[in-house]
Amino acid sequence: MKLKNKILLYTSVLFIILLIVINSTIYFLFKNIMVSAEISGAEKEIENIVTGMGSANESVATNELLRAYVPADGKIQILGSDGKNIASSVSPSEQELVKTEIQFYPREIKKEITVEDKHYYFYSVPMIWKKGNLVNLQITKSIQPAYDQSETLRTILLAVTFIATLPVVASSRLMTKLIITPIQTLTKTMKDIMKSNQFKRIPLGNSEKDELYQMGETFNQMMDLLETNFKKQEQFIANASHELKTPLTVIESYAGLLKRRGLDKPEVFHESVDAIRSEAVRMREMTEQLLQLARPEESWNVNFHPVQLNEILERIVKSFCQAYHREIRLISDDNITVTSDEQKLKQLLYIIIENAIKYSEEEIKITLKKEKKTAIISVIDRGIGIPKEELPKIFDRFYRVDKARSRKYGGTGLGLSLAKEIANAISATIDIDSSPGLGTSVSIRLPLG
């Protein structure tokens, strides 16, 4: 069954059952009260008749006496012990009582009886009549008004139940529509997305910001996120294949040159081998960085330990000076220790220092200082610098400020984006400040402790 029909059925049926239960309770309570009141009224009247007849003058004829005491809506009868009628009187409105069966009761009897679908209260009491005969004085009094009123109430309650059902069904339909329409729109949008392979949004309208609006809004936000990530991935794949194609083309063309003229000309041989080697190194670096970037951060296995920054920086500076034959000056405050992952921190520092070496020619300065609860390592070069408008983009994958020049330096455009991911993993931050032609300062902030 459809959700729409289910909601409609459950709410309507539940409400109707509730209405029936309430109305039935009202009806039965009312009927009980009315009948009890009618019976107690009848009992009082009968009591008066019995007392009145007991004290009546013996000389009055029985028939006269009964006519005087007959209830306005009932019957009075004197019955002999042999079950034969001695005298009786019936009120004009209750003529059906004339034909009722008669029976002698040796004891006092009070009961409700039905004659031709009409309700009566019957009372019989044995008494000694004139001449010392044992007789029954039997009084029957109508209690039908209580039943008539209950019947009227039942008709009214039935009508109310029926009339109330219509607005209940109508409001259930409206409620169902309110809930179902956004769900149907969501399902339709999802189907459209599957069919068209496009990221679509749900039209939200100006409705109140209820749960259904929030559901639509969340869905749209999720679509935004998926679309952004999808575009990024597409861009990444396009860039990666493009970046790998260039070194492969260079290798291919140099290999061709080697084949054609490498054996005859030693200078061509050396140039080709150098170029092939440097492109191969660049490709290796790029694939290593790509693999690391493609790995989810959770599988990075970060191990936090106390790391003595002064020692690490001294060792790094020494090895870079030797490897690149460049001047690197270290200015540091004493004894700064942080809790970090040493290997990841070193990798981060290598990327930043290699960039400083690549994009500058003069001396590089590295400073280490403490500021409140943070250790700051700054790598400052006096190189080509980065234009201000390019600064926000340099952490993007494959982004290089000057592609031609960067290629000359062997850049992949992946270094800083990897640096950023490493920094995130070890709770560090990276800030870059740069002026074209004057140089660049990269600061890494690490929490102390």
| Residue recorded with tokens 């009141």 | 37
HEC states along 251-314?
A: HHHHHHHHHHHHCCCHHHHHHHHHHHHHHHHHHHHHHHHHHHHHCCHHHHCCCCEEEEHHHHHH
Q: How many residues bind ligand ADP (CB under 6 A)?
A: 22
Our finding on whether 430 is near ligand ADP (CB under 6 A) is: no
Neighbours of 142 (CB within 10 A): 23
Kindly state whether residue 412 participates in binding ligand ADP, applying the rule CB under 6 A: yes
Residue among 175, 230, 167, 232 at smallest CA distance from 198: 230
Q: Is 216 in the site for ligand ADP (CB under 6 A)?
A: no
Count how many Cα atoms sit within 13 Å of the Cα of residue 183 in the half-sphere of its side chain: 8
Q: Does 415 bind ligand ADP (CB under 6 A)?
A: yes
Out of 212, 413, 422, 430, the only residue in the binding site for ligand ADP (CB under 6 A) is 413
For 136, the token pair is 């029954």
**Burial class for 272, CB neighbours closer than 10 Å (0-12, 13-18, 19+):** buried
Q: At its nearest, how many Å lie between ligand ADP and the CB of residue 346?
A: 16
Of 316, 416, 423, 426, the residue at the interface with ligand ADP (CB under 6 A) is: 416
Alpha-carbon dihedral of residues 9, 14, 16, 17, nearest 10 degrees? Answer: 130
423 makes contact with ligand ADP (CB under 6 A): no
Q: Closest separation between CB of residue 185 and ligand ADP, Å?
A: 44
- In angstroms, what is the minimal distance from the CB of 356 to ligand ADP? 5
Q: Please report how close the Cβ of residue 335 comes to ligand ADP at its closest, in angstroms.
A: 28
> What is the sign, positive or negative, of the torsion defined by CA atoms of 97, 101, 107, 110?
negative
CB of 182 to ligand ADP, least distance (A): 45
Task: Provide the minimum distance between the beta carbon of 399 and ligand ADP in the complex, in angstroms, as a whole number.
Answer: 6
Q: Which is nearer to ligand ADP, 96 or 433 (CB)?
A: 433
Of 161 and 406, CB closest to ligand ADP: 406
Residues 305-344 as x/- pattern, contact with ligand ADP by CB under 6 A: ----------------------------------------
By the rule CB under 6 A, 386 interacts with ligand ADP: yes
Distance from C-alpha of 205 to C-alpha of 156, rounded to nearest angstrom = 45
From 258, 276, 401, 428, residue interacting with ligand ADP (rule: CB under 6 A): 401
Among 70, 144, 359, 368, interactor with ligand ADP by CB under 6 A: 359
CB of 344 to ligand ADP, least distance (A): 16
Pairing mode, if any, of strands 337-340 and 374-381? unpaired
Supply 35's token pair. 């009948």
Residue nearest ligand ADP, Cβ-based: 411
Query: Given the rule CB under 6 A, which of 73-81, 215-223, 263-271, 413-421 is the region that contacts ligand ADP?
Result: 413-421
Helix (H) or strand (E) holding 113: strand 109-115
Q: How far apart are CA 412 and CA 397, in angstroms?
A: 9
Task: Please report, in angstroms and rounded to a whole number, the separation of the first and last CA atoms in the chain.
Answer: 62
Determine, following the binding rule CB under 6 A, whether residue 355 of this chain makes contact with ligand ADP.
Answer: yes
Residue 345 CB, nearest distance to ligand ADP (Å)?
17
For 359, what's the count of Cα atoms within 13 Å in the CB-facing half-sphere?
Answer: 32
Residue from 76, 440, 444, 446 touching ligand ADP (CB under 6 A): that is 440
Q: How far apart are CA 108 and CA 139, in angstroms?
A: 12
Q: Are 249 and 241 in contact (CB under 8 A)?
A: no
Q: How far is the CB of 231 from ligand ADP (least distance, A)?
A: 20
Residue carrying structure tokens 């009848």: 42
Q: How far is the CB of 417 from ligand ADP (least distance, A)?
A: 6
Angle at the Cα of 330 from the Cα atoms of 397 and 338, rounded to 5 degrees: 70
Report how far residue 296's alpha carbon sits from residue 294's, in angstroms, rounded to the nearest whole number. 6
Place of tokens 């150098």: 274
- Minimum distance of ligand ADP from residue 388's CB (angstroms): 13
Which C-beta is closer to ligand ADP: that of 147 or that of 359?
Answer: 359
Of 213-221, 225-233, 332-340, 352-360, the segment contacting ligand ADP by CB under 6 A is 352-360
Q: Return the number of the residue (324 or 399) whose C-beta is nearest ligand ADP.
A: 399
Site for ligand ADP in 48-107 (CB under 6 A): none
- Residues lying near ligand ADP in the complex (CB under 6 A): 355-356, 359, 381, 383-386, 394, 399-402, 406, 411-417, 440
